[in-house]
Every structure is written in structure tokens, then in C-alpha cells.
Amino acid sequence: MEANKKTIFSAVQPSGKITLGNYLGALRNWALLQDEYHALYCVADQHAITVRQDPASLRRQTLELFAQLIACGIDPERSTLFIQSHVSQHAELAWALNCYTMFGELSRMTQFKDKSAAHADNINAGLFTYPVLMAADILLYQTDLVPVGEDQRQHVELARDIAQRFNGVYGDVFAIPEAYIPKLGARVMSLSEPDKKMSKSSSNENSYVLVMDKPEVILRKFKRAVTDSEGGIYRSPEKPGVTNLIDIYAAVTGKTPEAVEQEFSGQGYGAFKPAVGEAVVEALRPIREETERLLTDKGQLEALYRQGAEKAAAAAARTLRKVHKKVGFVPR
């Protein structure tokens, strides 16, 4: 690890489904960040169980996501890529930090309110305290920067508050992390409701494209994408559907939106929508094929996630030993 590099940490829950929006908005940037930073990326399976999961599905989706992250460009040699439950220090530090987190702070977390409303029959303690586990995820690695969307900024703020409170009592134990909003990264909207972000939680499967969708499925979804009756391929607030398609085409081809408008000037949606679909198919093809290859080579996949867990645990153990010493636990 190069001493002058800052540490960046990010985690994603194993839903098993990465959308085109997830890839263009975040994961593609993770790959770009791993040379500039000391990067740690985590499949957050412990966070997933705040909501009831089918065990076999959770195992399958965890491995699928791990493979997809590698296929998206996360290099296990240049980054530390691991499965959260394989590094026991996450849960251990979370307990210690629970004792330095105020009940009122957790009560104010907006995602707890949202998830409680969505899962009224299962408002468990983990749903209430998972922001502390998230703080432990971040603070274990002396993280400087956490790439997040605006909806997660509150969790980074809580991690900062907990770290500052602990440091205030015991001295300089934790680095104080900052939210990192990447400058790059396309904001990809729904294909059926272009005023909303693309989301796999939509009931309309034609509204989102998955990284693992087959080419014929991707083409069908783009052919059905909502545009407008006016015609003309250019960006405008009055044309959210067309603007979204231009931005997607630009993001997967590396062209500027202006160049895309010029390329399709005078053409109709009948030519434009399939062209966007084809460009997306070609951009995602190597990711889908590499994911499928990794999932058929269980030995390689297991070796990679064990290697990642060992690297993560070595770094996490240093922080946890320091915390245990500070709070007064007898050394092991």
C-alpha cells in the first residue's frame, strides 16, 4: 500500500441485480478509483438480513454480486474486495460503537423510518442499529472517503459523529471519513418513467436494464423506451425520455451528448432507440460473459473471496485491537 494514497471504502448489498444505472452511476467509477486510492469494496451481506432473506438466494446473490464486481473492473490485486460476513471485525466493532451511539441519533435516520414503514411486520433491532454497523464498516479501515449518493450522506455523517465522539474520549483512534460524491457518473433514469431514477424495485421490468440481461432482452426494453410524439433527437427538459437515451448512449460510447445529437440529427426514434440498445448490449457483453465464466469456476471465485477477506481482516484487526485496548478489554 502506498503511504500517500488516501483510503476509499464502499459497500453494496447483494440483491443479485446490478442495473445499468448502478454500473454507469457508481460501479464503473469504483474501477477508476482503484489506482488513485487504496480501495476497499465490500459485499454487504450482513446488512441484507435486516429484511428477511431466503438463505439459498442470499448465498447465490452474494456470489453473483462478487463475480459481477470483478467483471465490472474491480481487480482483486489492486483493490481489497471481500464479503462482509467473512471479516468478523465488522460485527465486533459495531458492538463497541453501539455503546458510543445515541438512541436519538438512530431515531432520526430517515432510512429507518422508510424501511419500518415498508416492513411493518419486522421492525427489528438490526433495522434500527444497522447505521452503526455501517459506521464500523467505514471506520475499521481508517477510511478517508466514502463514495455515496445523496441518500446515503446521512450515514457518513453519523460515522463522522461516532468517530469524533470516540476520539474525543480516547484520543486519535479513527480517521474522520468524508462523503465523496464522484464528479463522473451518469444519472440514468427509468426507461418507462424518465422523470424517475432507474431502479430494480420498479414493478415494470421494462423500466430498467440489468447488467446480466441477455442481448435480446436489452434490445426489447430500449425499443419500448418512452420518448415523445414530437420527434427530434436532442436534449431538453421537455423531452426527458429522449434526453435519458442520449445520456445513456453517450455514457456507453464515450461520446459527448452534443456528438450524439449530431450523429442522429434528422433521424427518427425508430432508428435511434435500437442504436442505443445495441450500444448498451456491446458495453455490457464483456461484463455478462466474465460474470458467467467466474460463476462456473467456483474454485477461482472461492480463492478470490478468501484472499480478499484475509487482506481486509489484517487491516481491520489493527483498528479493532486499538479500540479494545482503549476501552479497557484484556488483550487476547
Catalytic residues: 115, 197, 200
Alpha-carbon distance of 235 to 27, in angstroms, equals 25
Alpha-carbon distance of 145 to 181, in angstroms, equals 9
Alpha-carbon distance of 245 to 307, in angstroms, equals 40
Residue 33 near residue 146, CB atoms below 8 Å: no
Q: Is the dihedral of CA 133, 139, 140, 144 positive or negative?
A: positive
The candidate with the shortest Cα–Cα distance to 25, out of 232, 239, 181, is 181
